[in-house]
Amino acid sequence: MMAAAAGNSADHSTANAVREQSEERLHIVSFRMGSEEFGVDILQVREIIRMTTITRVPNAPGIVEGVINLRGKVVPVVELRRKLGMPYVEPDKNTRIVIVELEEKTVGFIVDAVSEVLRIPQNVIEPPPSIAAGINAEFITAVGKLEDRLLILLDLKKTLSLPEADALRAM
């Protein structure tokens, strides 16, 4: 009788562990770039601000739009569309700058619009496809399959080449 009870307890514990694992969720900030929806881990995002005046910096890397003054701190701003090989679009009322911490450096990324904060179950996340149309696949960490859309998860650290990251650290 004790062995049966112990077996039921082990089965119950295993079922709980499987349920907890399937319920693990990623917290993602989603944003739009053109017709595509992207996301980044919320733990990387420090804040999201409206588009503001950007001061150009001579000899900055091509993807760097310039710098902004964020409460007394100079923050380099990256044109994410350019880095992803997307055509330039004039900023509008929906344009935002996503402020992130990358290797102890605060960096802003210009996006077309921030959509929402999502909690995505781990079981809808898949590894990135080997070929990603129009986007450099090395930046993609995963693809989230949501009910009626796909969410491309980016690693913003990987969007910066070593020389670009070095140049940003020097700013």
* pLDDT tens, N- to C-terminus, the chain (171 residues): 444 555 554 554 444 444 444 468 889 999 999 899 999 999 989 999 999 999 998 888 778 899 999 999 999 999 998 888 889 899 999 999 999 988 778 999 999 999 999 998 988 888 877 655 445 567 788 888 888 888 999 988 777 765 566 666 666
> Which tokens hold the place of 39?
């996301």
> What is the Cα–Cα distance from 6 to 12, expressed in whole angstroms?
10
Position 137 scores a pLDDT of: 63
The letter for the amino acid at 136 is N
Q: What was the pLDDT predicted at 133?
A: 47
Task: Give pLDDT, residue 20.
Answer: 46
What residue type is 8 in one-letter code? Answer: N
The CB density around residue 154, as the number of other CB atoms within 10 Å, is: 23
- Indicate the class that CATH gives domain 42-170: mainly beta
In this structure, the dihedral spanned by the alpha carbons of residues 62, 63, 68 and 72, taken in order and rounded to 10 degrees, is -100
pTM over 0.75: yes
Chain CA centroid to CA 148, Å: 20
